[in-house]
């Protein structure tokens, strides 16, 4: 997990809102439009495990060094404080006409497909910010979510309207349970149900 400090959630995620997750068959991985920032430790991990991943790349870009576009940035939330960006390629069949290099032609992630095939956790190779999306870290390093209205109005959003209120901590259970651990997730779920704030 590419973060250099303990993760907490913001009070924003204690709410219940009429939204649900999209389905891959409908959104066709629209969230993979712009690629992703990876900590340099994550890029090294992908390169060192390229043999597991390469068979699942469907766009022909097999050389691991070509999976990244050369952009770097400073990121205080990542372990090395330095991130690199995945390559984004032209893809006329994908939302917006572009896609992350790791997006397969079946709209699944090559990194996740490789992990599943080799019986690792599905997110073994997945970059931290991919796992987190559409959640993100706020200025305090807490997991949070943007305004509901803008998310539901965006055609490429990972969220869709629901006909009833759903606790956000339940909507994002897989991500939160993975990032926080079972014990902390259970504590936060209880706080969300009872209306208590998260420290």
Per-residue pLDDT of the chain in tens (199 residues, 90 and over written 9)? 555 555 789 999 999 989 888 888 778 888 899 999 999 999 999 999 999 999 999 999 999 999 999 999 999 989 999 999 999 999 999 989 999 999 999 999 999 999 999 999 999 999 999 999 999 998 888 999 987 666 677 766 788 889 999 999 999 999 999 999 999 999 999 988 886 544 4
Structure confidence at residue 159 (pLDDT): 84
34 part of a folded domain: yes
1 part of a folded domain: no
**Model pTM?**
0.88
As for how many domains the chain has, the answer is: 1
Structure tokens at 28: 């066709």
- In degrees and rounded to multiples of 5, residue 100 shows phi and psi of -60, 145
Structure tokens at 104: 């397969």
Structure confidence at residue 67 (pLDDT): 98
Tell me the C-alpha distance between 9 and 144, whole Å: 6
Structure confidence at residue 8 (pLDDT): 87
Structural domain for 22, as ranges: 8-194
Structure confidence at residue 161 (pLDDT): 86
153 part of a folded domain: yes
- Which residues contact residue 83 at a Cβ distance below 8 angstroms, ignoring those fewer than 6 apart? 37, 38, 39, 40, 72, 73, 74, 75
DSSP assignment, residue 97?
G
Structure confidence at residue 129 (pLDDT): 95
Contact 126, 111 (CB under 8 A): yes
Locate tokens 């870290």: which residue?
137
2 part of a folded domain: no
160 part of a folded domain: yes
166 part of a folded domain: yes
3 part of a folded domain: no
């Amino acid at each position: 997990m590419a973060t250099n400090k303990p993760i907490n959630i913001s009070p924003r995620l204690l709410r219940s809102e009429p939204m649900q997750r999209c389905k891959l068959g409908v959104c066709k991985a629209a969230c993979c439009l712009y690629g992703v920032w990876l900590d340099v430790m994550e890029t090294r991990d992908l390169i060192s495990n390229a043999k597991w991943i390469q068979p699942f790349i469907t766009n022909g870009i097999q050389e691991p060094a070509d999976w990244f576009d050369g952009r770097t940035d400073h990121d205080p939330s990542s372990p090395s404080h330095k991130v690199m960006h995945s390559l984004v390629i032209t893809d006329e069949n994908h939302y917006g006409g572009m896609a992350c290099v790791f997006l397969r032609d079946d709209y699944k992630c090559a990194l996740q497909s490789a992990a599943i095939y080799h019986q690792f956790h599905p997110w073994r190779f997945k970059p931290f910010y991919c796992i987190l999306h559409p959640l993100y870290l706020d200025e305090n390093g807490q997991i949070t979510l943007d305004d509901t209205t803008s998310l539901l109005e965006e055609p490429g959003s990972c969220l869709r309207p629901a006909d009833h209120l759903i606790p956000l901590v339940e909507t994002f259970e897989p991500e939160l349970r993975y990032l926080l651990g079972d014990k902390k997730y259970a504590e936060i779920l209880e706080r969300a149900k009872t209306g208590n704030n998260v420290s």
